[in-house]
Amino acid sequence: MSTTNSTSPSALDAEALYGKLSQQVKSGLQGVSQVAIVGIHSGGAWLAERLAAELQLSERLGFIDVSFYRDDFAEKGLRPDVKPSQIGFDVEGATIVLVDDVLYTGRTTRAAINELFDYGRPARILLAALVDRGGRELPIAADFLAESITLADNQSLQLQRADDGRFSLTVVHA
């Protein structure tokens, strides 16, 4: 499923990647019932919003801010821009597509999964990510993935959403 050869970060077309990801999610969910989409703030939330609209799942769309579940609270404290998590559907028995923009260490995914279980026991959680930049520190992999790239440790990849809803990706140097 994942692409092994590395694309140059500057050549990333976020709209094309989104199209690819949404195709994968659509075919992967065929025949599956009780599907719900949950986006991780903030990039993943934008992607999830658009996915849910395309899949006509807006009633079963949720958002997660993992700040209360992070493992670096002892070193970094609480982030000042925490947003409320919103899970309006019944998690019990649901198949949840967890959506994030960039998959890196896997720690955010771990935190999001823990939080979802505090709402109930899902039947299954699938992970969808736009870009996998490597550097995993936990045994976590995406089920749906549009692109894999390699970034230096001091670089990060940020998803932006323009006023017209179009996505773009930029590489930020620390």
Using DSSP, how many helices (H) and how many strands (E) does the chain show? 4, 7
User: What radius of gyration, in Å, describes the C-alpha atoms of the chain?
Assistant: 15
Answer yes or no whether residue 119 interacts with other proteins by CB under 8 A.
yes
Q: How far is the CB of 39 from other proteins (least distance, A)?
A: 16
Choose one: 8-16, 42-50, 115-123, 159-167; the region binding other proteins (CB under 8 A): 115-123
Considering only 69, 89, 144, 167, the residue that binds other proteins (CB under 8 A) is 69
Considering only 19, 93, 120, 135, the residue that binds other proteins (CB under 8 A) is 120
Amino acid at 41: H
Q: Is 59 exposed, middle or buried (0-12, 13-18, 19+ CB in 10 A)?
A: exposed
Considering only 35, 49, 65, 103, the residue that binds other proteins (CB under 8 A) is 65
Q: What angle do CA 29, 35, 41 make, to 5 degrees?
A: 105
Considering only 32, 118, 166, 172, the residue that binds other proteins (CB under 8 A) is 118
Q: How far is the CB of 32 from other proteins (least distance, A)?
A: 23
Q: What is the 3-state secondary structure (H, E, C) of 79-136?
A: CCCCCCCECCCCCCCCEEEEEEEEECCCHHHHHHHHHHHCCCCCCEEEEEEEEECCCC
Q: What character string, x for contact with other proteins (CB under 8 A) and - otherwise, covers 70-109?
A: ---xx-xxx-xxxxxxx----x------------------
Pairing state between β 144-148 and 124-132:
parallel
Choose one: 62-70, 97-105, 132-140, 166-174; the region binding other proteins (CB under 8 A): 62-70
Q: How far apart are CA 23 and CA 75, in angstroms?
A: 40
Residues in the chain: 174
Q: How far is the CB of 83 from other proteins (least distance, A)?
A: 6
* Residues of this chain that bind other proteins (CB under 8 A): 65, 67-69, 73-74, 76-78, 80-86, 91, 114-115, 117-120
